[in-house]
Amino acid sequence: FLNQVVGCHSMLSFLILLLPSVHSSISCFSCASSDYSSLLGDSSGLGSVSIRTFASSCEGDHLSQSHPSDSCDSTCLTIFEPFYFGGIQVDTRPFTVIRGCTHKILNYVDRLNRPREIDFLHEGSICVDLTLASIFPQVTEDLTVRACSCVEDECNKSSRPSISSSSFSFFFPSLFLLHSLLLLL
């Protein structure tokens, strides 16, 4: 039995070392599509979200020249909302976006009732699908967005969401294995 416990402890230590995490501050682009200015830009919306730039240029890949970056204590975040016109996603503008620090954008989300996926966004590189209302409670439409977090300086500059995150394919099987190992104890 002692060998099993030691083996489980070693495996647990190994898995914890492999899980991505953020230990120091990183620099993240902070901007949003102009469509979000009424929701995020003034005190009647979510004044606590610290986004200063609202422009369609935030939707592109060339952010370093024209958009500010913030120092972040957790991960960088990009929220991608599909943009439709007449029920069809527009090729030239497929997404509207919100970019910034995960802890600053999601700082007001109800900790008791929020989806568990929001906690994963604070921990490492992952993409998850969420309803916009679970992120912004004042949004009453049932829209699904893709939220992607990352852990490197200015990593939140992509104009399209990742199909899968490099950590996503490793993270959930590791979580399942960890859960299984803990049940053995």
* Any domain includes 106: yes
* Any domain includes 3: no
Per-residue pLDDT, 52: 78
User: In the chain, how many domains are there?
Assistant: 1
| Residuewise pLDDT in 10s, the chain (185 residues) | 545 544 544 544 444 444 444 457 899 999 999 988 887 766 444 545 678 789 888 998 777 767 778 899 989 999 999 999 998 988 888 999 999 999 888 876 666 777 888 889 999 999 999 988 888 777 788 889 999 999 999 999 888 887 554 444 444 445 444 545 555 56
Q: Give Cα separations from 72 to 46, 69, 127, 184 (angstroms).
A: 19, 9, 18, 38
CA 77 to chain centre: 4
* Any domain includes 2: no
Give strand pairing partners of 71.
27
Residues with Cβ within 8 Å of 12's Cβ and at least 6 positions away in sequence, in order, are 178, 181, 182
pTM of the model: 0.71
* Assigned token pair, 85: 């016109």
* Any domain includes 15: no
* Any domain includes 12: no
Structural domain span for residue 98: 20-177
* Any domain includes 161: yes
> What DSSP letter does each residue of 132-178 carry, written as one string?
HHHH-TT--S--EEEEEEE-STT----SS--SS-TTHHHHHHHHHHH
